Amino acid sequence: MFYSAVNGVLGKALNVASEDVILQLIVSKYIPILFYRLEACPVNKTDLRSLDFIVDQVFTKLFKIARLEIVENVRPSL
């Protein structure tokens, strides 16, 4: 559900809205979908790395960055 929601926003708004507006929309509306009920589950380091990877993928699409190393250095941690 998270991927389809974010891809829908990126597909419709990427060429129309600014990156800041799209990022704010994703953080306020779609990151909660990703983290829904996460506090009820035990989370290990592998799970956290998987969540980080998902967020990194959003940043690579939004800012059109080819290398994950760049994204990992510039994005805020969630």
What does each C-alpha distance from 15 to 11, 12, 24, 63, 75 come to in angstroms?
Answer: 8, 7, 16, 12, 21
Residue 44: is its pLDDT beyond 90? yes
Say what the pTM is. 0.76
pLDDT tens-place string over residues 48-72:
889 888 888 888 888 888 887 787 7
- pLDDT, residue 25, reads 92
| CA triple 56-60-66, angle to 5 deg | 120
Residue 76: is its pLDDT beyond 70? no
pLDDT confidence tier of residue 47, bands split at 50, 70 and 90: very high
User: Where are the chain's structural domains?
Assistant: 2-74
For the chain, give the mean pLDDT: 87
Residue with tokens 């990703």: 34
State which amino acid sits at residue 40.
A
